[in-house]
Structure 1
Amino acid sequence: MGNHQSSKRDSSMKSEKGGTTGSGNGHHRKKSITKLMMTTGSSSPTTNGADSPTAATNSKPASQLLPVEKLAKILTQKTQQEESVHGVGLATFSKYLFPRYPVLAEKLFKHFHTRANSKHDHLTSNAFKQQCDKLFSILDDDTIRDNMVMMFADDHCESGPTMSPDGMKVMLMCAYHVSMDHYSEGPQMCLVISKTLKSVVDSCFHTKMQLSVQFVSHWLEANCPRLITPLHRYAVHSLATSYRSLEIEGPSLVAEKQEDDESEGLELATPVLEQPPPFGDKPPHPHLLQMSMSWLLAGALPPLYSRPQKAHSPTNSGVGLTSIAFLSKFLCSVPSHWINLYDSDEMGLGANRFLHHVLAYKGATLTLLKAEGGSIFCIAAPCEWKETHVYWGGEESCCFQLFPKFAMLEKGSKMLYLNTSVRGYPLGLRAGKDPRAPIISVEGGFDKLQFRKIPYNLQCIEVWGCGDQSSREVQLDIKKWQVKEAERQRCVKLSAADWLDHPDRYLLELAGRPQYHQKQN
């Protein structure tokens, strides 16, 4: 009897142990951030990295964790020399890994410290390696987004972690700086970045001061799913490659590290905008699509609109080539160039002007509409524009409101419409799945705009091409052919037999022109 009960108790304990181990090693996506905390955090007080020195090395081969081993050893030595602490401290972590992004370093170190359940202000070497291993194992975009929102959330309260408007603005500003500092044309800064971030934060919070991290993560997933993923990718890149520059001995270690990072060609898929020439008879006209807005749209649109090209590195050293090979797994390399096809302020506002400059472009396009009051809307077309009386467009078709609040209005197939000639059907440009009530409607004269049946005066239209260079070249070739064909048809040569029955001959005779004999001609 007693043996039977003890065997039951032993079997139940084995099943509990097996269940705990299975849940700790799972790699499936979990929608709830609460489950994410339970999975990535410590399941019991005895799972601290200091108490289990081999926890980080048992799950993966030693060759994959060699960079982390070297990095942990170097940071431990630096912390011992500068802070007199045996482990990895915040000052050393920020100085040698993220010297240009102290806010990102502080948030990431605090995130590591919380998940490791460390009782000290620093991280032990084993705890640091364990947290790096967990960060490297996150490959799913949804899990990356949940993890980054949790990292920038406020201190945990009784109801759970929350996000404030300032916290979300700091997170977005970090993502913007990381993307713009590694811009393919060099570091960039936009004068309207505060206005762009304000539109995103106001749209998410709706005048509220606190929101749950679940709500913020779901809002980002619905409106701009790829906006903050570069933060995770840059953190992974820094943790995996910084040991190379840290192994170099010298007083200018941090400066050399920054130069190496720039020379390795880190690109984070921000589109390159075509800029007007800075010198000329007139000052360059500022485009409606600013740099910060292109960064925001690149994180909100499907990858079709910012399709990466082949990566290139300005350095031929072994370090640069290895870094590019590593980044090809985690990062989008060189982004596409967005070319300005039509600007109504320079080319005139009208339906014929729109058709002349936009039709025959074979790639994806972005149409920006500015209404009175400063409201700006964007219509994304995944293929070339068609003039027809039926709705068209693929699954990547979508429309946004950019200002005063940023939000994705609608997305899906067969939601685009353009008709300027077919009678009996509505004239103008439309976007929306419901033909009877489109979200955005531009009248045939291209002077009025309706947003959800609210009328506005249309002030400006810009169209940007998001395809490759060949799409623009094909469009220009078609335009040249059209001009030559029009010139050819303007001068028509007629034979003598055709001229005898031509209506222009009778009109000239009625006007009093005499008839000439064929021999005289």
Structure 2
Amino acid sequence: MGHAHSQEHKDRHHTSMRHGSVDLLAPPQLVNLMQRRLSGTTEGSNIDKEAFQQYFSNPAQGFGKLLYEYVNRQSQSKYSDAADTTDGSTRVRKEDFVITAKSLLSLSHSKSDQIKFYCNLYSKGEDKLTEEDSRQLIEAAYVMYMASMGFRCEVTETTHAAIVANFATKLSSCKDMNAISYCIQCNCPDLLTGMHDWVVLLLNAEANPDSLQPIEEERLPGSMLSYPLAWLISCSVPATYTVESTMKSAMDKTNNLRWDHWMTLYDSNTKGLSMNRFQHHTLSYKGPTIMLVTCSGGYLFVIAVDQEWRESTQHWGGSGCAILQFAPTFKSLEEGANMMFLNDRSRSLPKGIMVGKNNNSPVLTIDGGLTEVTHTHGMKSGLESIEVIGCGGSDAIACQTKQKEWELRQAHRQRKVPLPGNWDENPDKFLLELGGIKVNHAEQVRDNY
């Protein structure tokens, strides 16, 4: 996403598993603790290669090998025989591990430095990431974020692996490491924060990979969102959409996934693809939402809306609004205020949903019948599904439920009090509709129950 958005992410309050509330071990203490774990003694000047790699590769396979190779590369710049021992085995020097530990622990205060370090780790010291390097980096980042939250999982072909591959392709297309770092900071600034959280827990010997709980479901309950896709979205949108989980973590000292408080408000696959049903389940929700739009051609758009949905003749939305394309390629399309437009009543304006700051050329348009999506410089695709996810937590849901109950009572009340004359032919009704007022709102509410 844009520079302003990435800056907002830099300021995001992120609570990790436990290490934010404890003192980090001093490197000499840390290396002695690590050496006891890796070789059963604090004597000697080396750490065993196999034990080192095994310790740091759980649950992210291959991470320990990359970290070991990084330490050796640093060693070789100082010692010509850094990786050799008299018995022919390969070991890491204690002092070199201390230097690496200090370097890793110092990354906790800078997302930019975290991005550069871990990208360099997966590029094996090269100034560019291959597509395979990028894929392994993203998958490890997801697995290690979940581990930092207490869960063991993996990316499979059935859990939106193609979405991960799309972002990997974007990273591998960057010309050098500076461009890769900028790309991550602008599009997905929290991509590697969970990875670093888990590494710090490992360094402090606070991580217990054997106690991680398996993820039994591939998707969020009642949602099209897989866990990897939910994670990638949570890394890409502003803090507005994830703040409740981090606040809960800070208050009750438990681990909450960034999307724990998300709840599906409307899913066209189960509730029907119609504007009436969309509005019934989405309006009156006083919290931020994320809308997923899938259409023919394999397109998936993610629209982050930081204000309550409303039907209006004017554009609306705060600075935290954004639209991203996750498939068939990953793109951050636009962000900022006054991007949203929803009209279903006014006859003088186009009906449907428009997303984008330019009224004459919006980024994405969904027609009033929810059948067609216009995107990518005028390309038209058939609309396949819409899902709207509420990110405001339990309070927003309770408020919406209360509003719906009030509307239902009003609908029953109007059913008992007939209007004078034929209201459908009354000129006052026509004038009210021209002004954008929903004069039949109560009847529509009643029909939806």
The TM-score, its normalising length taken from structure 1, stands at 0.67
What is the DSSP-based 3-state SS (H/G/I as helix, E as strand, rest coil) of the residue aligned with 2:46? coil
Q: Which of 441, 446, 461 in structure 1 is aligned with 2:386?
A: 461
Residue 299 of structure 2 is matched in structure 1 by 375
Residue identity matched to 1:169 = R
Tell me how far apart the structure 2 counterparts of residues 446 and 77 of structure 1 sit (CA, whole Å). Answer: 62
Give the aligned partner of residue 204 of structure 2. Answer: 240
Give the one of 92, 98, 111 matched to 1:123.
92
1:489 aligned onto 2:440: no
Over aligned residue pairs, what C-alpha RMSD do you find? 3.2
Taking a change above 3 Å as real, the CA distance of residues 81 and 364 of structure 1, as seen in their structure-2 partners, is: closer
* Equivalent pair of 1:310/1:334 in contact (CA under 8 Å): no
Residue 275 of structure 1, aligned match among 221, 224, 227: 221
The residue number in structure 1 matching 2:290 is 366
Query: 1:19: which partner in 2?
Result: none
Residue 311 of structure 1 corresponds to 249
* Alignment correspondent of 1:439: 363
Match of 1:258 in 2: 209
Are residues 1:478 and 2:380 paired?
A: no
Alpha-carbon offset, residue 189 of structure 1: 5.5
Q: Which residue of 2 aligns with 1:423?
A: 347
Whether the 8 Å contact between 1:309 and 1:336 is mirrored in structure 2 is no
Say which structure, 1 or 2, has more relative contact order (CA 8 Å, 6+ apart): 2
Distance in 1 (CA, whole Å) between partners of 2:146 and 2:265 is 24
2: CA distance, partners of 1:184 / 1:390: 45
Alignment check: 8 A CA contact 1:68 1:239 kept: no
Q: How far apart are the structure 2 equivalents of 1:484 and 1:204?
A: 54
State whether residues 147 and 209 of structure 2, in contact with CA within 8 Å, keep that contact through their aligned partners in structure 1.
no
Aligned to 2:140: 174
How far, CA to CA, are the matches of 1:403 and 1:333 in structure 2? 24
- Structure 1 vs Structure 2: percent identity of aligned residues? 24
Deviation at 1:109, TM superposition (A): 2.5
Q: Judge conservation of contact 2:353–2:366 (CA < 8 Å) in 1.
A: yes
Residue 216 in structure 1 maps to residue 180 in structure 2: yes
Q: What's the CA shift string for 1:6-31, capped at 9, x where partnerless?
A: xxxxxxxxxxxxxxxxxxxxxxxxxx
Moved more, 369-378 or 126-135: 126-135
Q: Distance in 1 between matches of 2:384 and 2:23?
A: 57
Asked if structure 2 preserves the Cα contact closer than 8 Å seen for 1:397 and 1:415, the reply is yes
Work out the CA distance in 1 between the residues paired with 2:258 and 2:322.
24
Q: Which secondary structure state, in structure 2, belongs to the residue aligned with residue 163 of structure 1?
A: coil
1:203 maps to which of 155, 163, 170: 170
* 1:101 maps onto 2:60 in alignment: yes
Relative distance call for 1:288 and 1:103 in structure 2 (3 A) is: same
Equivalents in 2 of 1:64, 1:461: separation in Å? Answer: 46
Alpha-carbon distance between aligned partners in 2 of 1:345 and 1:493, rounded to the nearest angstrom = 36
The AA in structure 2 aligned to 1:458 is L
How far apart, in 1, do the equivalents of 2:219 and 2:100 lie?
38
Cα gap change, 1:166 to 1:468, in 2 (>3 Å): same
Correspondence for 1:165:
131
Write out aligned runs for 1:282-297 (5 A): 287-297=223-233
**Bigger mean CA offset, 196-205 vs 417-426:** 196-205
Matching of residue 86 in structure 1 with residue 53 in structure 2: no
Shift of 1:141: 1.1
Q: Deviations over 1:254-295 (max 9, x none)?
A: xxx4345x49xxxxxxxx97413xxxxxxxxxx433222111
Q: 1:212 to 1:503 in 2, by over 3 A?
A: closer
| Preserved contact between residue 292 and residue 388 of structure 2 (Cα < 8 Å) | yes
Cα distance in 1 between the residues matched to 2:95 and 2:34 = 12
> Could you give the per-residue CA deviations for residues 150-204 of structure 1, whole angstroms, max 9, x where no partner exists?
1111444xxxx22111101110110121233455677476523421212112334
SS of residue in 1 equivalent to 2:314: strand
**Contact 1:79 1:87 survives alignment (8 Å):** no
Find the aligned partners of 1:221 and 1:110 in 2 and give their Cα distance.
Answer: 26
* Alpha-carbon distance in 1 for matches of 2:277, 2:34: 61
Question: Any idea what the Cα deviations from partners look like across 1:444-502, whole Å, max 9, x if unmatched?
Answer: 222111002111111211111111111011111111111111111211399xxxxxxx6
SS in 1 for 2:388: strand
* Equivalent in the alignment of 1:10: none
Cα 1:177/1:78, change in 2 over 3 Å: closer
Give 5+ residue unaligned stretches, structure 2: 1-21, 84-90, 423-449
Q: 1:91 to 1:356 in 2, by over 3 A?
A: same
Q: Is the 8 A contact 1:381 1:396 kept in 2?
A: yes
In 2, the alpha carbon distance for the partners of 1:163 and 1:128 equals 25
Kept in 2: contact 1:309–1:333 (CA 8 A): no
Q: Which amino acid aligns with 1:463?
A: V
Q: Against the structure 1 CA distance between its residues 143 and 423, is the aligned structure 2 distance closer, same or farther, given a 3 Å change threshold?
A: same
Q: What TM-score do you get using the length of structure 2 for normalisation?
A: 0.77
Counterpart for residue 59 of structure 1: none
- The one of 182, 192, 196 equivalent to 2:159 is 192
Q: Per the alignment, in what secondary structure is the counterpart of residue 376 of structure 1? A: strand
- Among residues 260, 274, 292, which one is paired with 1:350 in the alignment? 274
CA contact (8 A) 1:154 1:162 kept: no
